[in-house]
Each structure stands twice: as structure tokens, then as C-alpha cells.
Structure 1
Amino acid sequence: MNISDLIKNKSVRDQAWLEERRAERGNLSEMRDVALEEITTNPEMYQKYLDLQANNISCSAGNVALTLFQLKGATKIGTISFWHEQGRYVQDEAMKSGAKVFVPSRNGQRRGYLMGDYYDVSQTIGRPIKEPVPLIENTARMETALGALMNYSPVPIVEQGGMPTPARYDETHLCLAIDPSYGELEVFSALATEIGYAQAHDKGRNIDFDRETYRVDAESVSYMLCRRFGVDCKPPQAAELAQLYEGYEPSDRGEALEQLRKTTRNMGDGIDRAIQPRQQERSRRHLGAR
């Protein structure tokens, strides 16, 4: 075989490898679309998605959906490098059984996403996972968290006693009322939901605003936020989930879930910075794509 044949053979192998990778990316994209449709149609799957997304709020909605459908029972997930940062290592026998996901290139000059793997904490060994400290009633930390959460209300917050719920967004007067007779944890949960309504109404600029239309979204943000801080919160009432997402393309479903994730993470990070500013500053360098 001469040099020309070697070059031709290499070109053929390279082309075959590229085509195989394209096919794998296409299959993974299709799996993501199927997962997103199932999650936004089936209330039971939606609840499982919210639990996994809340536990991994820095992971994209699409990657959480992919992981949910590949790693049954997953709770805490991340790439090999993410687990290394946590002082944990993926076990050898689990290396080939991760969830295929899309991850950004480590080369900052390269645009787009590559295929990578997520592993669940159950597939790793090493340093114990540091569990988040839950918010506790009648503590300075709880008070600080509530104050930080209030900052995310786009409308004025007013005090109003005798309400049937701890908090309520008034779309007529464009304000958010809180009844201080309720406990702080109850207020936190209700306030997070009502802020979701207020943000959706956009100070009255959203003329199509209707509480029922935005109920699942508002309750989902509150649920994920409360789960992050160990606050009891009822799961969203998602019986009408299929109707809510009717007519949505998979990409639109993914974007809707991603927006909920970003909103939840933004609020949660702001609360974290308020209640533990030094730790948040140190850990900020380690956040990013997982």
C-alpha cells in the first residue's frame, strides 16, 4: 500500500467517524424531544422532572430531561469534572452507563455543544455530599431569606391581615399583599408563587394575563425554589398539563422549561448570596455547565 492509499483510507475512516457522530447527535436530539414531550404531557413525569431539576438547578432543562429518561432514580447529577470538584469520582464500572447529554466544549473558542455524559451521585465514590441547610422558622437566616425573596417582586409589597392565604398578588392594584399572621415558611412558599404571577403579569403590560394560565408555571418555580431551601411546598397541580402545552413544538417546550429553571436559579442564587455571601463568592467560580 502506498502513501496515496494511506491518505485515502484515513479520509474514509474520518468521514465514517463524522457520519457516526452526526447520527449519534441526531438520535440524542430525538431522545431529548421525546423526553420533553412526555414531561410536558404526563403530570407524573413532570413531577419527577421538577424534583430532579430542583436538585440540579445549574443543569439545563434539556439535559435534566435526557438524564431522567436514561438514569432511573437519579437525584444528583453532573459530569466527571463536576464530581471531581466535589471530591468524588465516577466508579470504573459506571463509566459506560452514564446519561448521554449535550455539554459545552472545554475549548472556549469553539461554539456549540458536544455530546458528553452525566453520572448520578450513586455512581460515584469519595467525599460525602454536603447537604444544603434548610431554612428554619424564626431565625435571622430565615428573615434574611424572606427579605431577599421579596426583592424579586416586580410590584410593591403591602401588609394585609385576614387573608385566606399567606400571600396574594393583586392584579387590579398591581401590588403583592402578605398576611404576617402566617408563619415565615408558609409566607416564603406562597410569596414565591405569587411573585411568579406578578412577573408574568409584567406590571399589567401582559394584557393576556390570567392566573389559571400561569398557575403551573408559578407553582413550579415556587416548588423548585422551596425544595432548594428545604421548605415544605405542595407540588404543582398539573392535571391540565397536556392542554397547557398543546400545540407546542419540542423546542418550545424545552425553552419554556428552561425559562422556569433560569427564573428559579436566579431567585435561589440571590437568596444564597444574602444568607451566606462569603461561601457564595467562593463557590461561584465552581458553578457553570455540568
Structure 2
Amino acid sequence: MSSFDDIFTAATKEREEQRESFIKESKENREKCYALAEEKVSDVAGDGKQFQAYLDTQVRFPMHTPNNVLLVMAQKPDATQIGDVNFWKLKHVFVKNEEKDSPILILEPGEKYTREDNTIGTYYNAKKNYDVSQTTAKYRNNSTRTYDLDHLISAIAKQTPVPIEPVDELPNSNGALFDPESNTIKLRKGLENGTAIFQILTIEMSHAMLAQGKHDYDRNENSLTAFSSSYMLCKKYGVDTKAYNFEKMQEPFPDMESSDVKQELYVIKKIANDLSQRLDRDLKHDKKPVEKSDGER
């Protein structure tokens, strides 16, 4: 055999070894993601403080699925912006050498496949991402955009999913209450605290979205979802959140399977995102946002 044959044989062997190594690493990373997500969703389901931390992380990553938000929490809870190596290269920054072995793994859908029962499934691939703090980026945007409360409440009035009806009184001195029978939100007249108005209306708007016009809607079954969606909206728009106390919730999702908890997290995200999209239709015209640093949250 010539020396050239040896070169090509060695190259073929090396490519095959690299391929096998890649497949092995991919499988290990995928299994690691499944294990991390299961561990973290258990933490979130059983501890109010962890649940609040999840909501905060979901607000920072609105485009990511709850499962991937759980993965970010498990690996780098202080992450603010993530992307793969190519994402950062396009921004003319690079992942630091000392950080390359500490990626944030998330799951992304890959190829479709057919199960034995002829249903279609999806393969998921573990993708390596890195937070901006793991790159050479010199500037990090750690500010939070906040809005004037008058603009926020004006946006609610214009973009509410159901009509808001001012009334003189409400049961138990409530400030606002969604009424499934009339499919309206009753708002008590005379309220002057803009922060409280935003909070109570976003809770009731969440109930209205969850009810979907059903007259027999049970708000008690969806109280945590509406409360959490409202909290996420407050965090996004820089509205005070001291009224939202999650730490006293010892078990936000007691006796629930992890898949059911993830479904609840998905619904919370969806309601918050749907309402946010409505408000943004009006707020995009707001030309005077106030910048608020992370330390002031």
C-alpha cells in the first residue's frame, strides 16, 4: 500500500471517529437536557421562590419555550441574552476560550419521524448556547424599559380583550372583576393608584382570555395562571411587583406530573404574551420610555 493510501485511510478513519464522537456527545447532551429540565420543573412546582425565578427568566426570554427556560435556569440563572457561536460572530463578538466548555444547552426541534402507531414525532437536538457574559462583548444592555403608567392604562383601555365597564361597587371591595356572564370586566369607579389599576386589570384580562367566552368559567381553577401572567406583564413593563408574593407558596403545583406543570407554564406564557402583543400595538407609539437599570428593579 502506498503512503497516499495510508493518508486517505487515516483520514476516513478520523472522519468516522469524529462522526461517532459527535453522535455520542449529542445523545449525552440531549439526555442531560431531559434530566436537567425534569429536575428544575420539580423545583419550580414545589417552591414559590423557584417559581417566581422561573417567571422572571421567562420574561427575559419571551421567545423561548418553558422547557428551554427551565434549562437556562438550571445552567445559568443569571443569563440575559443567549446565542450560539454563529449568533455571536454575526455581532462581531466571540465566545471566550475559557467559556467554550460551559455552554448553555437548550433543545431545538430537528427532523420529523413516524412512530409505530403512524403518528408523527419530532427529534430534538441539544444546541450549545452562550450568554453574553461568556463572550467578548464589552457592552451589555442590562436596562429595563419602563413606561409611563398613564400610557399603560390607556393601552389597556384601547386593547382590552373584553369591554371594561365602570361600576360603583364590587363584591368584597374588589377593584376589578371579570364577569363571565356578560363577558366584561367590571372596574370600580374612583381608583387613583395607577400601579394597582394596572395590576388588577391585567389579572382580570388574563381571566377573560382564559375564559374564552365560557359562561361557566371557574376563576378559582385559573387564579394562579392569571396572577402569574399579570406578574410577567408587570415585570416586562417595569410596573412595581411588590404586591405579588410567591415566596409564601410552598407548592405552586402540588401533586402534578412534570408534563402537566410544563403545560401550565406554557399557558401562563401564552396568556402573558398574547396580552403583551395587544398592549404593544398601542405602546409602540410611546416615544418617551424610561430606562431603568437591573439594580433598580
TM class by smaller structure:
0.7 to 0.9
Q: Is the 8 A contact 1:40 1:241 kept in 2?
A: no
1:136 maps to 2:148: yes
1:160 maps to 2:167: yes
- Specify which of 145, 166, 179 is matched with residue 155 of structure 2: 145
Distance 1:222 1:260, change over 3 A: same
User: How far apart are residue 161 of structure 1 and its match?
Assistant: 2.6
Distance 1:225 1:30, change over 3 A: same
Using the alignment, how far apart are the partners of 1:232 and 1:85 within structure 2? 36
Q: Is the 8 A contact 1:197 1:218 kept in 2?
A: yes
Distance 1:103 1:190, change over 3 A: same
1:29 maps to 2:34: yes
Letter in 1 for 2:100: M
For residue 274 of structure 1, give the secondary structure of its aligned residue in structure 2: helix
- Per-residue CA distance 1:176-230 (angstroms, 9 max, x = gap): 111242233322211111122222222226x4x4322211111000000111001
Structure-2-length-normalised TM-score:
0.74
Letter in 2 for 1:220: S
1:256 maps to 2:268: no
User: How far apart are residue 104 of structure 1 and its match?
Assistant: 5.5
Q: Following superposition of structure 1 onto structure 2, how do residues 46-57 of structure 1 map, counting pairs within 5 Å?
A: 46-57=51-62
**Residue of structure 2 equivalent to 1:202:** 212
Q: Is the 8 A contact 1:77 1:118 kept in 2?
A: no
1:179 maps to 2:184: no
- Specify which of 230, 240, 244 is matched with residue 235 of structure 1: 244
Letter in 2 for 1:158: E
Distance 1:168 1:89, change over 3 A: farther
Q: Is the 8 A contact 1:67 1:118 kept in 2?
A: no
Gaps (5+ residues) in structure 2? 111-121, 288-297
Letter in 1 for 2:83: T
Using the alignment, how far apart are the partners of 2:143 and 2:282 within structure 1? 18
Using the alignment, how far apart are the partners of 1:273 and 1:88 within structure 2? 33
Using the alignment, how far apart are the partners of 2:154 and 2:252 within structure 1? 39
* Aligned residues: CA RMSD: 3.3
Gaps (5+ residues) in structure 1? 106-110, 280-290
User: How far apart are residue 273 of structure 1 and its match?
Assistant: 2.9
Structure-1-length-normalised TM-score:
0.76
**Residue of structure 1 equivalent to 2:50:** 45
Q: Could you say which structure has the higher strand fraction? A: 2
Q: Is the 8 A contact 1:33 1:251 kept in 2?
A: no
Using the alignment, how far apart are the partners of 2:38 and 2:88 within structure 1? 27
Distance 1:48 1:87, change over 3 A: farther
Q: Is the 8 A contact 1:71 1:98 kept in 2?
A: no
Distance 1:8 1:88, change over 3 A: closer
**Residue of structure 2 equivalent to 1:273:** 281
User: How far apart are residue 168 of structure 1 and its match?
Assistant: 0.9
**Residue of structure 1 equivalent to 2:117:** none
Using the alignment, how far apart are the partners of 1:93 and 1:13 within structure 2? 23
Distance 1:83 1:24, change over 3 A: closer
For residue 107 of structure 2, give the secondary structure of its aligned residue in structure 1: strand
Using the alignment, how far apart are the partners of 1:9 and 1:237 within structure 2? 54
Query: Percent same amino acid at aligned positions?
Result: 20
Using the alignment, how far apart are the partners of 2:39 and 2:268 within structure 1? 19
Letter in 2 for 1:177: K
- Number of corresponding residues: 265
Using the alignment, how far apart are the partners of 1:43 and 1:236 within structure 2? 9
